[in-house]
Structure 1
């Protein structure tokens, strides 16, 4: 079946059924207070299923997939949240923003913030209001059954074992309590994950690095692009990203990270804090309709968690923008070493114990098969690391900052190219901020974005195409006499105050109205999905 036909079929059929219904939905498991008393096991525990509506008939399951329906529909004991006593007392602050998850922000008496995140999801919020009770909305919501409702509980022990930061979700039930105030109608009767928000002062939270300030991706990138005294711990980020691949987490866009800030002698260093692990151990492609949908390749990054890791480019699509920026300096050897470290630290015992964090019923239903697949994927991690390294290395972006810098490009033997970037102070090199040697067997093109000075030297002939994008200021380009750069160096800049190489050593394209993304920090930010 060809792809255009599939696209048409999967578009028309839901539209035909769109008027059917209405299909109502709530992420609250106990909409009415009177039901709550019947389900309480005692004052502190209640027995609930996170999504009993995902248990469907045989025909629906045949067409749309078994997914994790049994886990969603299984009642489990859940701790009842008492806002007056929890964490010394929590006060609701505001409803948070999210694509599909219902969030309530809470604060303790010291101002530390927590978030209550609904276990069930509401993806239909992205549809026009007229369709939110339609069959289309029903199918969008039903796809939530492809996610494991309690997967997040298994991740902290594994993250600790490999030495990366993590959230610490706790499974709770938010009762019909007057303590919710104005938020009662929205959040009362909801099974949720309660966790500390990775934001602001986390000096008492070692799982966030005990950082005195945790920032958003927007704030981190603003600092990174504006000031070359800002560093990002690329190796630490790489370890988190390899862990993502191991878990099959295909949703690692910019909004799913926070950044722990640490002071340096001059400037700051950021270390990655992953959050929002809603799509680990994803199980989609197990029935007719999901298979047809995946065959259209409209959402190719929706990856089913299998024993083998397939198509790492698709798996990492949502995270690629950050990967291209933050991992550009790391050579192959670092990727291999980080993969080996994870393999060594994530032992069978660590994995098996991590899944004991699941409720007993859910462990019995789901743990064995996931553990088996996770161990199999662990054995493939070196191959996966090298495959993704090679994908990122084909075309590499080297991005400077708004501050003064020099980019020194040296052509080595065998067509290799070394790029070094230096912070300048009063025209002199103060410190190196980037260094990597590129091999033409791996890299076909380098894109350098920066300001001030670009120097080309060496004895070899370039086999790698190099494109340089000068910033908004006045820039100087110099190419050593006799260097074999013909056809390989392309300079993109304006006519204003720049000094270009003579003698046709580079192709110069002058443009006084360049794309804003090539000019400065503010423009660079437009490339990213930011909260």
Structure 2
């Protein structure tokens, strides 16, 4: 074992080697062919044309650099593959460039067909240094940030649609194409000409003719969906389908499931309620391979970006893996019991048969399949076989703090302490006269799994009813939020684990000593209204 007194010397040596390995910086562009061929302007038809190129020749580095920073998927990046050339004038009936898009790392171009269907062309190579300040973008740090892209498998997104369809979740269907230096790109020629991209139908707006997104009338952003969900109790989220999607995320090792990496299909209303079903997008970080060399290992030991997870047979720390998804998971999955999780995990396991997995990986170029597929498939099958244990483990993490959120409309929350170990929570939609319209939420929590139940009424005229005599082992915290709320209790027995948090304005407290009331006229924004709670997802 390395003695503590030698660690600074080892670190210093690594830093010296780092500088030596990185003395030669490479000019970086997400375009594979920066200069247009001399006859590019004369070519008017790319039908049936192909080109053979590597996705990122610059990721082929020297022996010392590779030793220090890792092999990652460098061979997949610098190995040439045969790619179809995009014929802008004929693809999908003809495409018209609209606007540039993408994050600070991915360069993308939105294009539109004659019937206004939108496609997005996302660069397969990335520019992570775009997140740095202009000064740092020319530094050695930028060079290392760019090089870290080699930890991603450039063609991974191609293998996912078949498995997603088998699991029963919505998905995009990306196609690998090369954008030529075509004058039809107009003002975007210099930015996108000569780029290998993933082309897919944009998961947004009207998708009535697209079964991969539920033939939805509308597909919305997470912010738009949450605004609807938190402002109106006539909207709900398909929690069971979301769990299928999240278990699939964990099986493929996708650690980047933040709010912007989802879109939401708005399905036709049933019982006067709209249902939202998830559409995962931006699968850039699946099957990640980072910690295979001293420098990446050092960042792991120092807990820098701990949610960056190398893909292994064992999932590892689920809380860190799912860090970016923590807010959505807590909101959406609280209605599902442990039995629900087990049933859905069993279903996902059955759906991902060996044949489904193996045939899905054949969607990669043949040379890349030969280089990379076998070890990934082996790890994925092990994860699939253990998906029930993965589900149980992550359920136990989320179950500790159960989050139950109302809306800016009127609800009745019935919190029934069945015995000291069990608490049942029911939430009903009501009108302004407190007439019950329909059940929105129902679940019984057990103290062996759950330590805290947290209820948010948000805006509206809400009524919180405390039932049962037992003193619960679970702590129950109620945040009434905006609106004139009422708190009642059928028992006079005092509990030290039931808390009511609300202002002194306009609320009716009839809970006696059953709950401890904490008056607060300066509530946090996320405890106040739907719009305020939305900040919980983007600012916490």
| TM-score w.r.t. length of structure 1 | 0.95
Q: Which segment is superposed worse, 346-355 or 459-468?
A: 459-468
Partners in 1 of 2:165 and 2:17 — Cα distance?
44
Q: Which segment is superposed worse, 187-196 or 445-454?
A: 445-454
Partners in 2 of 1:336 and 1:5 — Cα distance?
47
In structure 2, do the counterparts of structure 1 residues 385 and 9 end up closer, same or farther at CA, with 3 Å as the change threshold?
farther
SS in 1 for 2:442: strand
Q: Does 1:280 align with 2:286?
A: yes
Q: Is the 8 A contact 1:23 1:134 kept in 2?
A: no
SS in 1 for 2:522: coil
| Alpha-carbon displacement from aligned partner over 1:53-91 (angstroms, at most 9, x marks no partner) | 101111111100000000000000000001110000011
Residue number in structure 2 paired with 1:55: 60
Q: Does 1:127 align with 2:158?
A: no
Partners in 2 of 1:314 and 1:35 — Cα distance?
50
Q: Is the 8 A contact 2:48 2:84 kept in 1?
A: no
Residue number in structure 1 paired with 2:206: 201
In structure 2, do the counterparts of structure 1 residues 18 and 70 end up closer, same or farther at CA, with 3 Å as the change threshold?
closer
Partner residue of 1:270 out of 261, 271, 276: 276
Partners in 1 of 2:139 and 2:252 — Cα distance?
33
Q: Does 1:471 align with 2:481?
A: yes
How far off its partner does 1:135 sit? 1.1
Q: Is the 8 A contact 2:492 2:513 kept in 1?
A: no
How far off its partner does 1:99 sit? 3.1
Partner residue of 2:348 out of 325, 342, 347: 342
Partners in 1 of 2:333 and 2:353 — Cα distance?
26
How far off its partner does 1:94 sit? 0.4
Partner residue of 2:385 out of 379, 383, 399: 379
How far off its partner does 1:481 sit? 2.3
Residue number in structure 2 paired with 1:527: 536
Partner residue of 1:512 out of 490, 509, 521: 521
Q: Is the 8 A contact 1:309 1:380 kept in 2?
A: no
SS in 1 for 2:362: helix
Residue number in structure 2 paired with 1:71: 76
Task: Tell me the number of residue pairs that the alignment of Structure 1 and Structure 2 aligns.
Answer: 526
Partners in 2 of 1:11 and 1:298 — Cα distance?
17
Residue number in structure 2 paired with 1:327: 333
Q: Does 1:152 align with 2:144?
A: no
Q: Is the 8 A contact 1:416 1:438 kept in 2?
A: yes
Q: Is the 8 A contact 2:175 2:199 kept in 1?
A: yes
In structure 2, do the counterparts of structure 1 residues 5 and 168 end up closer, same or farther at CA, with 3 Å as the change threshold?
farther
Residue number in structure 1 paired with 2:509: 500
Partners in 2 of 1:292 and 1:203 — Cα distance?
49
Q: Does 1:235 align with 2:235?
A: no
Partner residue of 2:229 out of 221, 224, 239: 224
Q: Which segment is superposed worse, 412-421 or 138-147?
A: 412-421
Residue number in structure 2 paired with 1:256: 261
Residue number in structure 2 paired with 1:361: 367
Residue number in structure 2 paired with 1:437: 444
How far off its partner does 1:25 sit? 0.7
| Alpha-carbon displacement from aligned partner over 1:458-490 (angstroms, at most 9, x marks no partner) | 24321111111112111111112244x521111
**Superposition pairs of residues 74-153 of structure 1, within 5 angstroms:** 74-153=79-158
| Alpha-carbon displacement from aligned partner over 1:366-406 (angstroms, at most 9, x marks no partner) | 01111111101111111110000000010111110000001
Partners in 2 of 1:368 and 1:15 — Cα distance?
31
Partner residue of 2:495 out of 486, 503, 512: 486
In structure 2, do the counterparts of structure 1 residues 22 and 309 end up closer, same or farther at CA, with 3 Å as the change threshold?
closer
SS in 1 for 2:369: helix
Q: Is the 8 A contact 2:53 2:81 kept in 1?
A: yes
Q: Is the 8 A contact 1:27 1:122 kept in 2?
A: yes
Q: Is the 8 A contact 2:179 2:192 kept in 1?
A: yes
How far off its partner does 1:184 sit? 0.6
Q: Does 1:293 align with 2:302?
A: no
Partner residue of 1:187 out of 186, 192, 217: 192
Partners in 2 of 1:244 and 1:53 — Cα distance?
30
Greater relative contact order (Cα < 8 A, sep 6+): 1
| Alpha-carbon displacement from aligned partner over 1:345-364 (angstroms, at most 9, x marks no partner) | 11000101001101010010
SS in 2 for 1:129: coil
Q: Does 1:370 align with 2:376?
A: yes
SS in 2 for 1:179: helix
Partners in 2 of 1:11 and 1:482 — Cα distance?
66
Q: Does 1:396 align with 2:402?
A: yes
Q: Is the 8 A contact 1:352 1:371 kept in 2?
A: yes
Partners in 2 of 1:179 and 1:404 — Cα distance?
54
**Superposition pairs of residues 406-445 of structure 1, within 5 angstroms:** 406-425=412-431, 426-445=433-452
Partners in 1 of 2:468 and 2:430 — Cα distance?
21
Q: Is the 8 A contact 1:19 1:134 kept in 2?
A: no
How far off its partner does 1:414 sit? 4.5
Residue number in structure 2 paired with 1:168: 173
| TM-score w.r.t. length of structure 2 | 0.93
Residue number in structure 2 paired with 1:24: 27
